[in-house]
């Protein structure tokens, strides 16, 4: 399941719900991306998305992950709107029989979400607002999946 | 007629996010938006700006109906 | 912090506590290992540990992870005693500025915990009880870190 | 005198987990445990069985005092 929300969310509640009642899942990998304060330089993060389109694009990438890794289930929650320092931006959880598939799929989905998913990110700090482009590291991370 | 959506830096530049405009193609829409706001018209031609019609990316000029939703998507940053 | 417990635990509560109040952490990776029912073949899992020694050995491996990856924090909780199907066995969370370090450290710690950490594991099923040896896959997973 | 601990399959085999035994070295302890329970004596020599004194793995025979804690650790399976 893929959700966008403009409300703060608790990653632990999502993880508990995701783990509950699994008798044949050996492994749940999860990732929480948090807004860094960067010592006051990044006061407010704002994320724009295209509701409907954004979830559908992410769903396509989840389908790719499912064909590539032996996954039982995936949960993605992504914040949109204004996000304060220390607040969760994204939660991704993957369930599999064994941990290698769970870890790799979670990593794969995060690389996509952080660099190519349909979001537009604006940081407002002491020097004003700027729209963020993907970091070179994000593109390097993503390229790892193309050689496998 | 089409519902036109702008995202990210394009929306900041234009000062609006959503507008209904009487047009019958993407090419026509680009002309009308450029006539209204030259800076926006230029920005829409910028590198990496994609166009979606009814939530699907289109590569070429496309006919629009009154029910069409057209979105201009600047380069995506990820979340 | 490293804890052993003979009580069932909620991974979500651990994750919420671990994420709370972090303004300079960009990335929290976590992993939950759950007991699989294996279609009734693995009725009860029992884990033996050497309290004091087991935590100290894990702490040495956490120190290795900290010298190898740019980590801000680590939390490990491991069940001991009798564990029912679907119950969490292990929770590992890692905090870092960026996600690559968080993911790799979590993966590294799990490989150790699943194959070399001082636990002794017994499964009791329809065919009786047997003590488990590390799976060949666990040793393969572990060997990945030696060539880096 | 030493507190002796068995873990995992060794504890199942012996039928006990903890015992206090009057001994002054690891070698002496092995002899006494083997005399009491031949199967346990053999198992303690098994491949991969490690010995810890006061929670540190020891490679060779070691003198023990009344305060020593000696643990026999079968091959570790991970959690």
When pLDDT is cut at 50, 70 and 90, the band that residue B41 belongs to is very high
pLDDT reported for residue D54: 96
C40 secondary structure, DSSP code: G
Domain parsing of chain C, residue ranges: 2-147
pLDDT reported for residue C65: 98
Q: What's the complex ipTM?
A: 0.90
pLDDT tens digit sequence for C67-80: 999 999 999 999 99
pLDDT reported for residue C129: 87
When pLDDT is cut at 50, 70 and 90, the band that residue C123 belongs to is confident
A101 to chain B nearest CA, in Å? 23
Q: Which helix (H) or strand (E) holds B31?
A: helix B26-36
Chain C residues close to D7, C-beta within 8 Å? 48-50, 120
Neighbouring-strand partners of residue C142: none
Beta-strand pair C81-83/C2-5? unpaired
Which tokens in the block code for residue A64? 């790719």
Chain A residues close to C45, C-beta within 8 Å? none
> Hey, what domains does chain D have and what are their CATH numbers?
2-73 (3.10.20.30)
pLDDT tens digit sequence for C83-101: 998 999 999 999 999 999 9
Average the pLDDT over each of B56-65, C102-111, D21-30 and give the range with the smallest value.
Answer: B56-65
Neighbouring-strand partners of residue B25: B63
pLDDT reported for residue C127: 80
Task: Please tell me whether residue C127 adopts helix, strand or coil conformation.
Answer: coil
**Residues of A (57-116) whose Cβ lies below 8 Å from B:** 78-79, 89-90, 112-116
pLDDT tens digit sequence for D35-51: 999 999 999 998 889 99
pLDDT tens digit sequence for C20-54: 999 899 999 999 999 988 777 666 889 999 999 99
Higher pLDDT, A43 or C79: C79
Higher pLDDT, C133 or D63: D63
**Residues of D (47-76) whose Cβ lies below 8 Å from C:** 52, 55, 71, 73-76
Average the pLDDT over each of A42-51, C66-75, C133-142 and give the range with the smallest value.
Answer: C133-142
Whether the predicted pLDDT of A84 surpasses 70: yes
When pLDDT is cut at 50, 70 and 90, the band that residue C124 belongs to is confident
If you count residue pairs, one on A and one on C, with CB atoms under 8 Å apart, how many are there? Answer: 125
Whether the predicted pLDDT of A28 surpasses 60: yes
Of the candidates A135, A143, A123, A105, the residue with the CA atom closest to the CA atom of residue A37: A123
A2-147 CATH choice from 3.40.50.300, 3.90.1170.40, 3.40.640.10, 3.20.130.10: 3.90.1170.40
C to B contact (≥3 Cβ pairs closer than 8 Å)? no
Q: Model pTM?
A: 0.91
Cβ neighbour number for residue D20 with a 10 Å cutoff: 10
Beta-strand pair A44-49/A128-132? unpaired
Say if CB A32 and CB A91 are below 8 A apart: yes
Cβ neighbour number for residue B73 with a 10 Å cutoff: 20
Which tokens in the block code for residue A102? 């769970």
């Amino acid at each position: 399941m893929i959700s966008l929300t403009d409300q703060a969310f608790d990653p632990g509640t999502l993880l508990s719900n995701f783990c509950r009642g699994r008798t044949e899942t050996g492994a749940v990998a999860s990732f929480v991306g948090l807004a860094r304060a960067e010592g006051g330089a990044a006061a407010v993060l704002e994320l724009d998305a295209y509701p409907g389109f954004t979830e559908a694009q992410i769903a396509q990438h989840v389908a790719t992950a499912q064909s590539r890794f032996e996954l039982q289930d995936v949960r993605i929650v992504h914040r949109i709107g204004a996000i304060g320092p220390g607040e969760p931006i994204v939660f991704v959880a993957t369930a599999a029989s064994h941990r290698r598939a769970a870890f790799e799929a979670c990593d794969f989905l995060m690389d996509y979400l952080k660099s190519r998913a349909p979001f537009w990110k604006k940081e407002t700090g002491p020097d004003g607002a700027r729209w963020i482009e993907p970091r070179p590291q994000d593109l390097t991370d993503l390229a790892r999946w193309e050689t496998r | 007629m089409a519902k036109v959506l702008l995202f990210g830096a394009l929306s900041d530049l234009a000062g609006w996010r959503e507008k209904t405009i009487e047009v019958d193609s993407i090419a026509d829409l680009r002309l009308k938006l450029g006539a209204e706001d030259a800076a926006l018209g230029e920005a829409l031609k910028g590198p990496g700006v994609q166009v979606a019609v009814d939530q699907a990316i289109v590569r070429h000029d496309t006919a629009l109906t009154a029910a069409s939703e057209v979105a201009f998507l600047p380069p995506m940053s990820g979340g």
